[in-house]
Amino acid sequence: MKPLADKIRPNKLEEVVGQQHILGENKILNRIIKSKQIPNMIFYGPPGVGKTTVANIIASTTNKRFYKLNATNASVSDIKSIIDDLDSFLTINGVLLYLDEIQNFNKKQQQSLLEYTENGKITLIASTTENPYFYVYNALLSRSSVFEFKYLKKEDIILSLQRAVEVVSEELKDTRILCDKSALEFFAENSGGDLRKSINNLQLSLYTTPRNKEGNILIDLDIAKECSGKKALNYDKLGDQHYDVLSAFQKSIRGSDPDAAIHYLARLVKAGDLISICRRLMVIAAEDIGLAYPNAIAIVKACVDSAMQLGFPEARIPLAEAVILLATAPKSNSACVAIDAALSDLDNKDVGDIPNDLKDAHYGGASKLSRGVGYKYPHNYKNHYVKQQYLPDNIRSRVYYEPCENKMENAVKAYMTQIREDR
């Protein structure tokens, strides 16, 4: 049985739902397709959002010989077969190659296309669910235009689902299909922005639901739930989603938004990514809260230890406690800025030698080398402080730590000012 998703696949650009940021009127990809001057392109985005559909539409608008390969099972020999066809009568106008899942091609396989994409004998349209800037060979990437496809909105998916119902109704002819609005909305929401998944779930419900007494097929919310299974979660521990969610998680805490922070924690919890959560919370406590609330890292460490011992599902509770604590705590990145500046100086400056006064003097003959000579022991002075040079001569006036404006560091600033003025 032909998949319903293939039966309703658009044949015209106007029939494609979503992706208006690139396919809308006067948008760049729309203009490219209408011009029929097709460059090498890479379509990047999640599954089920129209990458293959748009590639097929582009193929139908050109007079080039069309080839289609999937990098999960294709090899260099498949590419060589296409290359062997070049300059033949069949490919007199050139070749349009659609290479799906290009991230599964290694560097050598991708390099085999370089010469022909550069001289125009092969026009490449590649698609990938992974970030092409990580997975596509740089030389091939530089010869291609990258277009990002985004998750479809619920409204766009519902439009396609309604079209799918109409197609099946025409097939069955003598059977009326009644699909509740709530069922369509559930199919759309449950798919996580993946149109193909929502249509597959609809297809399952249409072909497995028995006719009622009137001979009609009724798809209600209960049937939709039964045929959909668990909601798709847009998360991949090894891909972009992993880093995107962690990035949003940390930025929400840094931005003092506990609601957004808890939302992204929930995504990570759903993915079962306990290690990443714990590591990131410890980083945030040091990097973003820092000296504004030094005890935060101790509390977070306790929450993290508890979460690791408990495991899911109970781990979610101490993790939520840590997240809300960090999101609502005062913020300071002064320690992070200070150490990064010091590390940068080591990489980029001649910082010079350690002052002799500070060097180790706990061995015979150290004084003959002027080690430790002239060092003043701070505890012998008022406020346990005495002015002396600690930094190397080349950077003796360098300032790394600049206190931020918060209660804790204001107290630090006041203390440092006081002991220095007392001298």
Say how many C-beta atoms besides its own lie within 10 A of residue 60's C-beta.
9
Mean pLDDT of 383-401: 91
**Between β-strands 95-100 and 65-70, what pairing exists: parallel, antiparallel or unpaired?**
parallel
For the ranges 6-15, 124-133, 300-309, 414-423, the lowest mean pLDDT is seen at 414-423
Residue 228's pLDDT band, with cuts at 50, 70 and 90, is confident
Return the higher-pLDDT residue of 258 and 214. 258
**CA-CA distances (angstroms) from residue 141 to 43, 118, 138, 410?**
12, 11, 5, 50
Alpha helices in 174-295 (DSSP H): 181-190, 195-208, 221-228, 240-254, 258-270, 274-284
- How far is residue 327's CA from residue 307's CA, in Å, rounded to a whole number? 18
Mean pLDDT of 367-392: 88
- How far is residue 171's CA from residue 61's CA, in Å, rounded to a whole number? 29
pLDDT on residue 235: 55
Name the residue with tokens 């940068």: 344
Judge whether 198 and 156 are in contact, CB under 8 Å: no
CB-count exposure of residue 223 (10 Å: 0-12, 13-18, 19+): buried
253-307 pLDDT tens trace: 999 999 999 999 999 998 888 999 999 999 999 999 999 999 999 999 999 999 9
Mean pLDDT of the chain: 89
Question: Which two three-digit tokens encode residue 288?
Answer: 């973003």
Beta bridge partners of 148: 44
Say how many C-beta atoms besides its own lie within 10 A of residue 303's C-beta.
24
182-198 pLDDT tens trace: 999 999 988 888 888 89
Mean pLDDT of 166-195: 86
**Angle between helix 274-284 and 240-254 (nearest 10):** 30
In order, the DSSP letters of 281-324 are HHHHIIIIIGGGSTTHHHHHHHHHHHHHHH-TTTTHHHHHHHHH
Considering only CA atoms, which of 329, 242, 237 is closest in space to residue 286? 329
Q: Where are the beta strands (DSSP E) in 41-189?
A: 41-44, 65-70, 95-100, 122-128, 145-148, 177-179
Mean pLDDT of 169-179: 83
Enumerate domains of the chain plus CATH numbers.
19-148 (3.40.50.300), 154-228 (1.10.8.60), 240-328 (1.20.272.10), 351-421 (1.10.3710.10)
pLDDT at 237 over 60: no
pLDDT on residue 159: 92
Residue 93's pLDDT band, with cuts at 50, 70 and 90, is confident
Residue 126's pLDDT band, with cuts at 50, 70 and 90, is very high
pLDDT at 415 over 60: yes
**To 10 degrees, the CA torsion angle through 155, 156, 159, 164?**
-130
107-117 pLDDT tens trace: 888 888 888 88
